[in-house]
Structure 1
């Protein structure tokens, strides 16, 4: 490595490689004590030297800004190659903040396969707002383009999707949204910035349920937005400040701590995911395995194009097609834990139709392929042999 260039890169932390960024990117030692990790500033307010003159102009009231949350937000911006990160009380709070940018008469085009909570927010919470939502297969670009009109203000994409692991070509969609001057938001929860960077591919906003891989330990509820455009960042921050969906200092600390091992954890999630998929793909009781790393996956080429790995999320169906077999399988698991959520160090198993996607009407679930025998696995970082042994005994 050229030593001069190396020195420049290390001095300017946003030029560091990813594995270094998760630990150092956007981070600084505490100036008052030299603490390596940012302290948990468990305070609601900050002293002022005179009315309207805070001791530190950056901190007046913790809903607007808190030093621990600021440290997390700087890290989020760094690892997603953005200019501004915002930390929220949940992923849905982050999504809601974006939607508050729109008014009656505006239209939003969204991917047809979405996290159940996102679909519920779009179709029930905002149903009387006057905002019109369209749901479409984002791989049918002609169909997608036919829905765009002068009222279209936002395109919302999950890739890979929850729970069917569908993908969308971020770069191709970004070309269209930029030409039409439409905001483009990508839910990057499943891929994480370790595997995929939507801002680099042309998206305007990245959303995370930081509860999942960013936190990584199933001990916090949090959300995040990251943008490249500073004016958009200021607008979203004002909406967050004015509505109050901010992340507390202790939760901010936990997510920041989780980010520091993101690269190590996701690498193991990917390794174990491949092994679990290989086992399931060869089991006589399993009909279809949904995993973007499989050459047979319909969007495998898109995954290779825009992801550096295929993640640890796997869904599958049974040859019998029976809900009862899926439920019986889930009840018999010992190492995998039957629970909602994903992305923690422990392996989790979920029945989308009865759990995470129960809020989606049954006819809509069937239309997009969420069948009653579908099981979703979040493959953790345990020993892969133990995970496969658990799946084997549950299937038996």
Structure 2
């Protein structure tokens, strides 16, 4: 009996075990997935909790309900991976042996890594929304904020769903206008990047959208500490950004056991070949989703597309054939812009977001780099797709490799906001 062990039962881990359980003979393969608890969270839903679009029960379901029959679900926390002995030690002392290991433990916010962030103002005037508890706490606090300076802040890249801080900024701008409070609130977006986003064309567009909404943009801001007594972000170059309400994205890091096991980089992301997702230190270890160090967005779409490549490669590998799949860094992300609209970006390692139509050239129905009602509805509809199609490992009619079909490369980058679509 050959043993496949998957660490992490989130988006990528669940997809991998469900697809491989159908493809690998049960009499020959034991498949086990490990996670610390039985709660599976729809993380894109955290963004909507503070605004009441989703309720808490809509973003959390039981993990075991989405794990295929024939896959063993082990609840426990990983202490250490011994790559040479091909075994995993759990915190409670249990040892799980493997022939192949897939690490899909994701990435987590670490507010403890920024001095002062977890001070007296934490969950009082300083909030995060990248965790379930943080989003619920912010949902309770936001209705009482009616004036002052609201700062949305990104500590450092990479972070999971890198467009989410911008989405929150646009959504809170729209929410304040709906409440009749926008003129009483100064909105500021603070980022360590030189622009609003990592990709130039999208950064110019999103930056123009911030300016159009009278949202101040503070760039190249690398936070050194949070002065919670003065309610101030302080950068390493001694700039200061005051706040009355701070919505922050703390430093994101992989699981501690990854670094302690000698498998990762300084942020505890597993070092892998960016095309095959195979560990650079052990041939029988792979990493997928946010847990790896690939230079792609830590987004659900990347977890989805890379998991498809990994599954195909894994099946070739265990049958003694060369791995022919090559992940190209494909990501696509809806960007909520408020007022019931969103835009969509589609890109990979080599190609930045471009205008056009998706997924069918000319027809769409979704538009790239343009705000539209259809894009917003697409994002909301994805929650059903996530629970009912993506997690169970059913096929989606979207290729894992990015296509240039339907995209238009601009002659020059423009900062003008494109026309909106109905």
TM-score, with structure 2 as normaliser: 0.27
Kindly indicate which of the two structures has a greater share of residues assigned to helix: 1
Report the structure, 1 or 2, having the larger strand content.
2
